[in-house]
Structure 1
Amino acid sequence: MSSYGLGRRQFLTTAIGVAAAWTQVSGNAVAAPQPKQASLGNSVNVCLTDVSADKWVAGQSDVLFKAKRTTNPLTVKIDDSVKYQKVQGFGAAMTDSSAWLIDKLSTAERSELMKKLFDPSKGIGLSLLRSPMGATDFNASGNYSYNDMPAGQTDPTLSKFSIQHDVPYIIPALRQALSLNPSIKVMANPWSPPGWMKTSDSMIGGTLKSEYVSALANYFVKFIEAYGEAGVPISYISPQNEPMGTPTWPGMFLSAYQESELIQEIGKAFEVNGISTKILAWDHNWDVPSYPETIFSDPAASKYAAGTGWHIYSGNPNYQTLVHNDYPSKETYITEATGGIWQDSKQTAFSEALGTWIINGTRNWANGVMLWNIALDPDMGPLNSDTDGIPMLRGLITIDPANGRVSYNVDYYALAHASKFVKPGAHRIYSNTFGEGSIENVAFQNPDGSKVLIAYNSGSAAKTFSVADGTHSFDYTLNAGDAVTFTYSGPEQSGRTPAATKVSDPTHDFTFKSTSGPVTVTYDPALLPYQNAIRTGNNLVTYSLPIGASVETTGRALSRSKWTATASAQADWGVAANAIDGDINTRWSLGHGPTSDDWFQIDLGSPTSFNKIVLDTGVNNSFDYVTKYQIYVSNDGGDWGSAIANGSGGIGKVAVTLPTRTARYIRIVSAAASGFWWAIGDINVYGSSRGSASITAPTAVSKGLQMKTWTSKEGSQVTVVFNGTADSKSFKISTDGSYTYTLPSGTSAMFTTQELSSFPEPVFSGLTPNQGIPRSKFTISGSGFGDAQGLGTVYFGSSYAEIDSWSDTSISAYVPKGIAAGKVTVSVKGTSGVDAGGSSFDVMELGPALPRTGWTATASDASQWDAPGNMLDGDSGNRYSSGTGQYDGLWIQVDMGQTQTFNKIVLDVGGSIDDYARSADVSVSTDGTNWTKVSSVADGQRVQLVSFPTQTARYIKVVNTGDVARSWWSVAEFNVYN
C-alpha cells in the first residue's frame, strides 16, 4: 500500500476513525466449520455470522428447499444457466511484516495458523496471495529491492539481482501456503523498483527513468524465474503499486502512458523468456477508470494486459463494471483492501469487508478479492523503519511476537464466508439483489456443480427473504448486520412452475460473441451517473465512451483568435488564457483540488454554432483532469439555464459531443470534488456544418459489429453495440449521419434513451437552514430532482452551489465561497431542465475575527504532522488533525492569552471533505480549570459556525461527543468573533 488511494499530500489527511476492540471467542479461529455434505438435492448447509453476539461463520441447522412458489418481494432468484466471470479465489497479502511475524511462532503454532488460513478443509482455504516485490510500508526491516546499489551507481544488466532477502521467512511462508492449498495463485508487484532506476535515486518518490524501462522489464523476468526456482510460481504481476501515489514510504509515480510503455516491454520480455504470468494494469483506486482504459486503448499494450487491479480507498465497485462493460474481455481483481482504526466498530468493518468488497466486488465482475496484510502485531506493525509509515491498519490476524498469541480479526471471518465455500474455478451465477439497506447477496457455482449463496442484511431491522432455485424455494430470517453463507448441491427439480414468480431486477445482461468466447455486458441504472449524458431533442441520451472510442462530427475546429478565457480560480503560473493559446505545453490550472462549483469559461466573441468541445490535459498528464463535469452555454454570460451535457471526464483528451448549439459563452463546470487539481493544456471547439441533428442510439451498425436492444420496465431504451472484430469499426448516431461513433476492437458502447417527458416535474418545497455563512451546508427538500445530479443544478443566486449529496427528494449543498452577505435566492433545475422553484437564503456577515496574537492551542490528541498551533496560523493550507478517529471526549482548546468578549466561533476544516466533528460541546473558562458549557453542535459540517450568548473568558474548549465519526478531526482555522 502506498497512498491509501489519496492524491497530492492527501495520504496524511485520509479519514481515520475509532479503533475497535477486536475480541475473539477464546482467541481462536472459528471459521473452520465443515459444511455437511448435502447428499440430498433439497438440503442446504447454513453458516452464520452474528457480529453482535461474537458468533463467526458458525454452522447452523440445515434448511430445506421445498417445491413451492414464493411471492415474497424479497426473493433471491438463483439461475445457474446464467454464468458470469470465473472466480480465481479470495485471499490477502503475505507482506514482509506478515511473514516475519508468522516466522516468530513456534513450529506447532505456525502449522496450526497456516492450516486455518490456507487449508481448504481445516481452515478457510485462502486461494489468492499477494506478495510485494521488495519493501513496502510494512517491513520488519528497512527499505530493500532485489537490486540495490550504492548511491550514484547503477546496474542496467541486473548483475547484482538477488532475492536473498526473501529466503529466510517470506518464501518459506509462501511455500507452506502452497503445500496446504496447491490451487493458490500468487500475485506480485513492486512498491518501487530499485532506486537507481528512478529520478529520485531512491525507493521513495520519483518516477521511472525512460532509459531503464527495459531493465525494469527484465527485473520482473528475473524475479519470476527466481521465485519459480524457489518453488513459488507467480500467476499475476502488476507493474507498479498505486502508480498515482508518491508517499513517504516506497512508491513511484507512473503515468498511464508510462505504464503502457512498461507493460509492452514486460510483455515482450515474458514472450522471449517463455513466461506465462499475466499482467494486471493500474493496481490503484476505483475512481480513475480512465487509467487502465488508457492502457487497454493502446493495442500494443493491451495484448499483454490481462485486466485491472483495483484498490478500494476511493470510489466504489460500480467502476469495475464500468470498465468491464467498455472492455468486457479483460479480467478484474480487487488487489488491495484493508480495515483500520477509521472503522468505528466490528460491525462497520464486517459490513465493508463482506458487503462492499466481497459481495459487491464480485457482483461487479471481480475474478478475485485480496485484502492487505495477513498478519500484523498489536501495534499495527511492524512498520518500515526507514519511512514514516502510519500505524492504522488491521491484518486478518494479530500476532503478538512477545508471547506468540494469535487472534483472528473480523476481516478473517468476512473472507471465510467466501473463501471457505467458493472454490477456485467457480463461476458467479445469476442472482438478483436488493442493495444497500436490505438483503445484499452474490451467488456462485463451484466446479463440482454445488452452489453458494452469500447474503448480508445491511438494513437496520431483521428481514425474512426467500431463496428460489428453479421450482424450489426456502425462507430465511436474517437479523440486521448478520450474514449467512448457504451451500447446496441441488435442489432436485420437479415440475415446470418456477418458484420465483415476482422477481424485480433493474439490471439486464447482453451477451455477444468474441474470438475469446462469449462476453457479457451489464446494463445497470446505477451506472448512468458515471456515463455521458446530453439533452437532444425530446430525449435524454446517456452513453458510454471507452477510452480509445470517439464521436466524430462534420464540423471543423473554430478559430480562437477572438476568444477570451476566464475561470473560477487559477494559479499565477497557470492562467486561463494558456488553455486557448494553441500551445499544449502551457496550461490553465485551477491551483487546487476542484469541487462541484469550480468552472472554466470561454467567450467565443459572438454567438457561434458548435457541436463538439475537446479538452486536452496534455501528453503524459495522468493527474490534473476534471473527473466529472457539466456543460452550460449562454448568450449573455449571466443566464446559464440548465446544463446541456454532463460526463465522467478522464485522462488525456475529453471530447464532449453535443447537438448543435448557438451561443457566445461556454462554461465547463466541475461536478465532483477531487484530490487532484484540474488543468487544461488546450481546448478546441468545433463548428457545425449542418443543421441541428439529434444524437440518437444507433438503429443499424456495420458488418462485423453486434447490436442488441432492451426496454426497461420504466421505459428506458437500452442499446448496446459490441465490436468483436480485430479492427476499429464506426456507425452513425444521428438522424442525418453527421455524428459517427468509432468503437475500437474488443470494446462495447451502451446507449440509454429516456424521454424528457417521462421525468417527473421537479418541485422545490423547503430550505433548511435559510441562514448561514459562506461554505456552510444547507439542505433542499422536494421531489422530482432525479436520483443523481446528472444535468441538475443548484443555483445560489447566479453562482453554482457545491453539491454534497443529491437524491430525488433531497439535495445537500454548500453556500459558495466568497459570496457577499445579504439575501440570495436558492433555486433548483432538474435533469429535464425544468425549474423546480426556490427560496431565499440569508448570507451572514460575521465581521472581523478577534486578533490571535499570543494565542496558543492544545489538544487531547494530535498527529505527528498537524500540530494544534496550525489552526491559529492564518494559513488554511495547514491544519491541526487528531491523528486518531473521533471519539467521545476528544478535545481541542484555545488559550487567548487574556480574557476576551465574544459570542461566536468558526471551525474551518479547510480543503478536507470529511475530517470535521459530527457532534461537539463548546465550553469556556477564565482559569482553564472551571468550565461552563455554552453551546452544542448536533450535526457538524466542514465550516462550523457556533453561536452562543456573549461570554467573557480566556479559554475555549471544543469537546467531541459521540463515537460515530469514522474520520480524523481536523481544524485548519479556529476563529473567534464578537
Structure 2
Amino acid sequence: MRRCNYVSIFILAILLLSCNVKGKALDFEVYETSESGNKLTRITEFKTLDSVVKITLNPVKTLQTITGFGGSFTESSAYLLNKLSKKNRDTILQAYFGEEGARYSLTRTHISSCDFSLNNYTYAPVEGDMELENFSIEEDRNDLIPMIKDAMAISKDGFKIIASPWTAPPWMKDNNAYVGGELLPQYYDTFALFFSKYLDAYKAEGIDIWGLTPVNEPHGNGNNWESMHFSPEAETDFVQNYLGPKLEANGMGAVNILGYDQNRAGLKEWVDAMFATEASSKYFAGTAIHWYESTYDYFPEALQYAHHKAPEKYLIETEGCIDSQVPVWQDDAWYWKKEATDWGYDWREPEKKYLHPKYAPVNRYARDIIGCLNNWVDGWIDWNMVLDRQGGPNWFENWCVAPVIVDPEKDEVYFTPLYYTMAHFSKYIRPEAKVISHDNSDETLMVTAVKNPDESIVLVLFNEGDTPKSFNINLNEQSIAVSISKKAIQTIIISNQH
C-alpha cells in the first residue's frame, strides 16, 4: 500500500511539473516614468481598464542591430563637472555610466571647439602648417579628456565615441573664419591628416575613437557659431579620395566614418550621393542624423529611404536636444507640458514654421527615439550631458537644456525627467540587441521592442495621452497584462519566454 502511494505521488509530481513548465508564466519587470511623479519606478500592480490594447511580439523577425544610446562629452559639460564637489561630480558620472545608472553605451564629442566650448580654438592654429607639426589637443586636457577617462573607468561594458569637427582650422577655409565658409580643395589632404593626428593624439591618452563625421551640420547653422559648409558631392569626394584613404594608409581603417550629420529632411540627397556607387560608398560606414527639422515629426519616410539605400550601413542619430531654451530648474512638471520652444518657433521660414509648435520636452524625446527605432535607426545620442541653469556655458549664448542641470555656485544637481527618459532606453536596451517585429492595436500608444544579447525581450512604450491604458503583451502563445499611467514612459523586461 505504501509503495503504491509513493508511485502515485511520483507520477502526480511529474504531471504537475510538466504542466508548470508548459504553462510557466512570463517573468517580467516594469519601470515607469510619468507626469504623476514616477522616475524609473518599478511598478508591480496594474489596473485593468475597459479597453485593452493588444501588442503581439514576433522575436523571430529581427530588424536592425542596436549600436547604443547615450550623450555627448562637451567642454561645457566637462567644465561644469570640474566646478562641482567631488561627490556631485561622481554622482553624475555614475548616473550616466555606472551599472546602477543609465549605462550609456554610445557617445559623441567635438573635435576642436563648438558652441558648447568656452571659446574658439583649433588643434592646428598655425597657418600654412601643411604637415600639422604644431597639432596639439592641449585645450582638452583640463576638462574634456578627464571627463571621458573618468567615464571610461566607471563604465563596466565600455562605450563607443563618435567625434565630429564643427569646422576645419580657419586658415584652411575660403573665408578664413571659424564660422561659415568652405574647405578649400588644396587643403583636403591636410584636413584628412588633421583627423589622423586627432585619432593618434587621443589614443595616446588611452581614448579610442570609434567613429568620425567629416563635419557637424554641413548645411551650416545660419552663420552663428563654428561651422563649415559641404555639399553632398564635396563631402563624398573628401571621404572617398582623401579621408578614407588617409585613415586606411595610417592603419586607422577600422574607424567608422559617418556621413552627413544634420537634419533628416536632407537625407535623400545625401545618401544618394554617398552611396551612389561602390567606390563612393566604400569608406562610409553609415549616416549620421539630427532631429532639429521639427519638434514632432521624426520623418519615417526619410529614415526608411536612407536605410534601403544602404541597408548594411549604420544609421545613427548623433545629436538632439531641447534647443534655444533656458532650462527650467527643479520643476519636473514643466518637462511634461507643451511650453518649450525651439529655434524654428521664431526663426523658421513661414512655410515651414508649422514644424515648430510649442512642445513638451519629454514627449519630444520619447516620441523621437521610439520612432527612430521603428524606422531602422540603430543608435541615438543626446547632446550635452550637463549644463548650468542658464543652459550653458556657451560662448555664443546658444542656450539649451540637458538631462542634468547644475548650479555650480551652490553645488546643486537637478536630474530632469529627460535623464530618466533617456535611461528607459540606454539602461535596458544593450548594444548588439536586435529590434524585433511587433503588432500594436493602438496607434496612440507608441511601442518599440528588442531582443537583447542575453535573450531578454525589452519593450519601451510611451503613452502621450491624458488617460491610462491597459494592454496585453502576447509572446510565444503566452501573455501578460499590464497598464501604463497617463503621460508616461514604460520599459518592460521579459526575462524568460518558455
- Which TM-score applies when normalising by structure 2? 0.84
Per residue, is there more strand in 1 or in 2? 1
Structure 2 gaps of 5+ residues are: 1-23, 328-332, 337-359
**Secondary structure in 1 matching 2:266:** coil
- 2:26 maps to 42
Question: Quick one: which of 200, 219, 227 aligns to 1:251?
Answer: 227
- 2:367 maps to 355
Contact 2:462 2:487 in 1 (8 A): yes
AA paired with 2:438?
S
AA paired with 1:56?
K
Question: Quick one: which of 148, 171, 184 aligns to 1:196?
Answer: 171
CA 342–288 in structure 1, closer or farther in 2 if over 3 Å, else same: farther
- 1:346 maps to 335
Correspondences of 1:520-669 after superposition (within 5 Å): none
- 2:356 maps to none
Question: Quick one: which of 402, 413, 419 aligns to 1:406?
Answer: 413
Contact 1:138 1:381 in 2 (8 A): yes
The total of aligned residue pairs comes to: 435
- 1:964 maps to none
Matched, 1:422 2:429: yes
Greater RCO (CA < 8 Å, at least 6 residues apart)? 2
- 1:177 maps to 151
Correspondences of 1:451-530 after superposition (within 5 Å): 451-492=457-498
- 1:270 maps to 247
- 1:291 maps to 270
Per residue, is there more helix in 1 or in 2? 2
- How far apart are 1:478 and its partner, in Å? 1.9
| Structure 1 residues 210-229: Cα deviation after superposition (integer angstroms, max 9, x where no partner) | 00011111111111111111
Structure 1 gaps of 5+ residues are: 1-39, 64-70, 493-978
Question: Quick one: which of 35, 41, 55 aligns to 1:76?
Answer: 55
| Structure 1 residues 103-143: Cα deviation after superposition (integer angstroms, max 9, x where no partner) | 22222322222111111x2211011111100111111x210
- 2:348 maps to none
CA 208–163 in structure 1, closer or farther in 2 if over 3 Å, else same: same
Question: Quick one: which of 376, 389, 402 aligns to 1:378?
Answer: 389
Correspondences of 1:296-315 after superposition (within 5 Å): 296-314=275-293
- How far apart are 1:73 and its partner, in Å? 6.8
| Structure 1 residues 312-363: Cα deviation after superposition (integer angstroms, max 9, x where no partner) | 011524111121122212210010110143999412111110122x111111
Distance 2:102 2:441 in 1: 27
Contact 2:265 2:299 in 1 (8 A): no
Matched, 1:146 2:154: no
- 1:629 maps to none
- 2:317 maps to 334
AA paired with 1:401?
P
AA paired with 1:383?
N
CA 304–224 in structure 1, closer or farther in 2 if over 3 Å, else same: same
- How far apart are 1:480 and its partner, in Å? 2.5
Contact 1:44 1:62 in 2 (8 A): no
Matched, 1:450 2:449: no
Distance 1:460 1:401 in 2: 37
Distance 1:287 1:433 in 2: 27
Distance 2:67 2:54 in 1: 28
**Larger Cα Rg: Structure 1 or Structure 2?**
1
Question: Quick one: which of 149, 162, 165 aligns to 2:136?
Answer: 162
Contact 1:434 1:440 in 2 (8 A): no
**Secondary structure in 2 matching 1:411:** helix
CA 336–435 in structure 1, closer or farther in 2 if over 3 Å, else same: farther
CA 342–170 in structure 1, closer or farther in 2 if over 3 Å, else same: closer
CA 231–45 in structure 1, closer or farther in 2 if over 3 Å, else same: same
AA paired with 1:162?
S
Q: Considering only aligned residues, what root-mean-square deviation do their CA atoms show, in Å?
A: 2.0
AA paired with 2:425?
A
- How far apart are 1:194 and its partner, in Å? 0.6
CA 328–72 in structure 1, closer or farther in 2 if over 3 Å, else same: farther
AA paired with 1:262?
F
| Structure 1 residues 156-192: Cα deviation after superposition (integer angstroms, max 9, x where no partner) | 1111101111111111111111122242000001001
- 1:127 maps to 105
**Secondary structure in 1 matching 2:483:** strand
- How far apart are 1:41 and its partner, in Å? 6.0
Distance 2:299 2:365 in 1: 12
**Secondary structure in 2 matching 1:284:** strand
AA paired with 1:254?
F
- How far apart are 1:82 and its partner, in Å? 1.0
**Secondary structure in 2 matching 1:249:** coil
CA 169–252 in structure 1, closer or farther in 2 if over 3 Å, else same: same
Distance 1:342 1:294 in 2: 38
- How far apart are 1:267 and its partner, in Å? 0.8
Distance 1:342 1:404 in 2: 19
AA paired with 1:196?
W
Distance 2:401 2:326 in 1: 10
- How far apart are 1:367 and its partner, in Å? 1.1
- 1:646 maps to none
Correspondences of 1:914-933 after superposition (within 5 Å): none
| Structure 1 residues 458-511: Cα deviation after superposition (integer angstroms, max 9, x where no partner) | 23322222111011112222233111110021222xxxxxxxxxxxxxxxxxxx
- 2:303 maps to 320
Contact 1:204 1:252 in 2 (8 A): yes
Identity %: 29
- Which TM-score applies when normalising by structure 1? 0.43
AA paired with 1:286?
R
